[in-house]
Structure 1
């Protein structure tokens, strides 16, 4: 009996002792989901009536904040819109230049990123033209100057780096779009051959086009990779006003390189009293880097 009690007390005593933290198998902290958004916010056009930027800016910021995007590639942003969003979303920093002069003139295709989550290792801009290093240049049948902004970022949660690019293709020139796609693909092969790659943008084409085929020859459409069924409508070019039963063209994309997993994908159709925050619906993908 004494032996039994001694054994019992010994067992209880051992259970009450603090557990050595080194003996616990640590959880895998390397797989942090990365929430990436592509969002054409519509430029600040005073002729947009009730949909002018002062009436929309809080809604745009609310969508970004509520859906918890870590990295947001925007299109059509003017400098004053960027400054408004920086004030409304102080937890983010941004990168980008004006397309007309490489500084402040014209629309930006900037991207916002969580300042406490990412380290910017490198960054740059090139123009979608036959002279990519010349600010303000345009070629082929492009109606407007277009550019691509890129950065090499490190996610400080797991120290994993990746290459990110955000762009906006021409809305009229078919040749300009196909040549822009070829330019971007060739640049990625040189600049980020062995890195995880994420590309966001308004490409102004549906999936049936040559431009889309060029992009997806080396990258993957995140919608098609999503482990969970895609959320929301398929199309992204919605106009400002909700029209029940209507279908939209899918022209905004998040492309990823081989090896990146897409846990979730959605087109966000949040609206206020029948109005969207922009004439494009934002696209959101939750990614896992390899």
Structure 2
């Protein structure tokens, strides 16, 4: 068997740009403090900070952790463009605004290092009863929801894989279950055609307890619910192919010593000593049809000495072998 290529994935909900301003990326960079001067006051900022302050922290974590490919959630078009500007010409991205299929509303973009991956194609589908209708919304959901689907080739080995990134609803468990069912069908279809499948996202669903239906559907513990027939026909599953297909949570596929960092992936913009909002709702999955291995998983810190939390979610990182 050919040697597999190590790849470091990340998923990170960036928190949408809720405090917009006109500060540019170069202006933020020019205002960065002297790196060897001790701060006058530690943790002098509290609560949510504007994106113009947080974006440098996001970039630093991506580069500092050696991330090679990542899916983000909640990014408005300014955030998508800013992150591309910071990452530079060696990176590229795909994704659309969920409200119109172009640039309105939040994106679930995928970024990658171009020296390591070549994008073959990509598409977006809406996590609704009409998944090919841009901007369509599930009744009762808090927001329009999408999934970004990509096919990549590893430049070194030529291996191809499917990567799907998503953000399920924060208010409707029914939407989350429908979204998970659509995504699982699409992943199963890709797997039935021989593709390795990786899935990342903010599921707004924990692994157990109330509201865990989406996680349980993705991981095969709960049967999917009925989905759009046109979608099923667009992404057929080969007959008798992988009848027990499911997605495996990478945290469950490693020795405990190789699952590092924190448990909570959502913290809110609260005092560092306040854990009242902590939950685990952001995941990286691999299809049980194989084609991948995993060696390490962690939920990374994001608080810096100035008190800035880069987001209300922590980044989730996994080392895979593809």
Q: Which residue of 1 aligns with 2:267?
A: 238
Does the CA contact (< 8 Å) of 2:16 and 2:106 recur in 1?
Answer: yes
Cα drift, residue 262 of structure 1: 1.3
Q: Does 1:102 align with 2:101?
A: yes
Shift of residue 222, structure 1, vs aligned partner? 0.7
CA-to-aligned-CA distance 1:184-223 (integer Å, 9 cap, x gap):
1112222342211100000001101121110111010011
Quick check: 1:242–1:275 contact (8 Å CA) kept in 2? Answer: no
- In structure 2, the partner of 1:15 is none
- Tell me the residue number matched to 2:174: 175
Task: Tell me how far 1:242 sits from its aligned partner.
Answer: 4.7
Q: Does 1:256 align with 2:286?
A: yes
Structure 2: which 5+ runs fail to align?
A: 21-45, 221-245
Whole-Å Cα distance in 1 between the matches of residues 191 and 149 of structure 2? 11
Matched residues in 2 for 1:245 and 1:170: separation?
A: 25
Asked if the contact 2:147–2:164 (Cα under 8 Å) also holds between the matched residues in 1, the reply is yes
Distance 1:40 1:226 in 2: 24
- Which of 210, 215, 238 is the aligned partner of 1:212? 215
d(CA) in 1 for partners of 2:175 and 2:271? 31
Provide the secondary structure at the position in 2 that maps to 1:63: helix
1:270-290 CA-to-partner distances (Å, cap 9, x unmatched) read 32123321100010000012x
CA drift of 1:50 comes to 5.3
Deviation at 1:261, TM superposition (A): 1.4
What TM-score comes out, normalization by structure 2 length? 0.78
Q: Distance in 1 between the 2:249 and 2:68 partners? A: 19
Q: 1:64 aligns with which of 62, 65, 71?
A: 62
SS in 2 for 1:124: strand
Per the TM alignment, residue 82 of structure 1 is displaced from its structure 2 partner at its CA by 1.1
Cα distance between partner residues in 2 of 1:68 and 1:50: 26
- 1:43 matches 2:16: yes
- Given that 1:164 and 1:198 are in contact with CA atoms closer than 8 Å, whether structure 2 keeps it comes out as yes
Contact 1:242–1:276 under 8 Å retained in 2: no
Aligned to 1:281: 314
Aligned residue in 2 for 1:142: 141
Q: 1:226 Cα shift?
A: 2.4
Give the C-alpha shift of residue 231 in structure 1. 1.0
Bigger proportion of residues as helix: 1
Q: 1:50 to 1:126 in 2, by over 3 A?
A: closer
Which segments of 5 or more consecutive residues in structure 1 lack a partner in the other structure?
Answer: 1-27
Any conservation in 2 of the 1:264–1:285 contact (CA below 8 Å)? yes
Partners of 1:241 and 1:89 in 2: how far apart? 28
Normalising by structure 1, report the TM-score.
Answer: 0.86
Does 1:225 find its partner at 2:253?
A: yes
1:30 deviates by 2.7
Backbone CA RMSD of aligned residues: 1.8
Looking at structure 2, the residues matched to 57 and 251 of structure 1 have their Cα atoms a distance apart, in angstroms, of: 22
- Aligned pair count reads 262
Match of 1:7 in 2: none
Output the CA distance in 2 between the equivalents of 1:242 and 1:111.
30
**1:140 Cα deviation from its structure 2 partner:** 3.5
